[in-house]
Amino acid sequence: MDLSNKNTMLQILADNGFSFKKSLGQNFLIDSTVCPRMADASVSKDTSVIEIGPGAGILTVELCKRAKKVVAVELDERLKPVLQHTTGGYDNLEIVFGDILKLDLKEIISNHLLNSDHICICANLPYYVTSPVIMHLLKSKLPVESITVMVQKEAADRICAKVGGKKSGAITVAVNYYSKAEKLFDVPKSCFYPSPKVDSSVIKLIVNKEPAVKINSEDNFFKLSRALFAQRRKTLINTVSNTLSIDKEKIRNALYEMGLDGNIRGESLSIEQIAELSDNIFKAG
Ligand code: SAM
């Protein structure tokens, strides 16, 4: 069955009484090239893969054809009969129903992927939770080598921006702390049904074995990263002081110790400078 054929896909969904829920980010792919490209970019035959949000299974089947094992996590239980119909022929697939943000992913790995030396994540992410899902996956420090995901184009540009560049944001810093991000290809909105308002891009995060910088506290590092971009028009000293209620003099002194100008803007710091500043301004005393 050709799931990239819109009429075929809609017929299968209708036969199973399924209707799209916008609130769950249910824009399904109806293109024959995107999923093979995504699957080729993320898995090989000795890789096991966790897919988030299989939907009607269009990416799932491409992953099953290539990977050692696939665990697909879907929130919407109404898709159970649809997925049984579309992916039932693959014995290397397990489907877990639940919220990716609430499930214990380490437990899923130890229950389903115990004998896998190489694990990756591949997904066409629901847009309403793109950043929380990416941060949840990275912060959980799972034994995964890479995360290949489709996200809104604007989010992809932000995530793959250079830390210290105009396009960067708190998510750029966080993603760069845990991984190296690259954009693979763009996907126009016409490749989905229902068609979303904006285009998408597929990005790949190669997870670092060690974080990009050494820091005293990850919580403080991420708190500072968010504050740096909270008020983009203000200087670093003002935005950090306003957002985190830290004395301006303390921030000025920390910048001075680092040889940085007091008028610098938060978005221009490198990841190493953010790490150093975070250790300095949050140090005891
Ligand atoms: N993979 C399919 C495709 O490419 O056509 C569907 C992708 S659609 C953009 C996102 C999917 O994620 C939907 O099936 C939706 O039900 C599911 N989803 C939404 N929120 C979720 C969550 N918190 N945890 C797991 N799956 C979720």
192-233 confidence digits (pLDDT tens): 999 999 999 999 999 999 999 999 999 999 999 999 999 988
241: alpha, beta or left? (left if phi > 0; alpha if psi -120 to 50): alpha
Each domain of the chain, given as residue ranges in start order, spans: 6-207, 218-281
52 in contact with ligand 1, CB cutoff 6 A: yes
Report d(CA 157, CA 155) in Å as an integer. 5
Domain 6-207 annotated CATH 3.30.470.20: no
pLDDT of residue 275: 97
Q: How far is the CA of 123 from the centre of ligand 1 (A)?
A: 8
pLDDT of residue 157: 97
Report residue 87 as tokens: 């992916």
pLDDT of residue 94: 97
Report residue 256 as tokens: 């001075």
pLDDT of residue 284: 63
Report d(CA 177, CA 221) in Å as an integer. 10
Please state, as a whole number, how many other Cβ atoms lie within 10 Å of the Cβ of residue 243.
Answer: 18
Atom of ligand 1 nearest to the CA of 24: 19
Tell me which residues of the chain have a pLDDT lower than 70.
Answer: 284-285
Atom of ligand 1 nearest to the CA of 34: 4
Ligand 1 atom 10, closest CA: 126
pLDDT of residue 194: 97
Hey, what CATH class is 218-281 in? mainly alpha
pLDDT of residue 114: 87
101 in contact with ligand 1, CB cutoff 6 A: yes
Contacts of 145 (CB under 8 A, 6+ apart): 47, 118, 119, 120, 206, 207
Q: How far is the CA of 206 from the centre of ligand 1 (A)?
A: 22
Report d(CA 100, CA 248) in Å as an integer. 40
DSSP 151-172: EEHHHHHHHTSPTTSTT--HHH
Please state, as a whole number, how many other Cβ atoms lie within 10 Å of the Cβ of residue 67.
Answer: 27
Please state, as a whole number, how many other Cβ atoms lie within 10 Å of the Cβ of residue 96.
Answer: 14
pLDDT of residue 115: 87
pTM for the predicted model, two decimal places: 0.95
267 in contact with ligand 1, CB cutoff 6 A: no
CA distances from 65 to 94, 174, 192, 265 (A): 14, 33, 22, 49
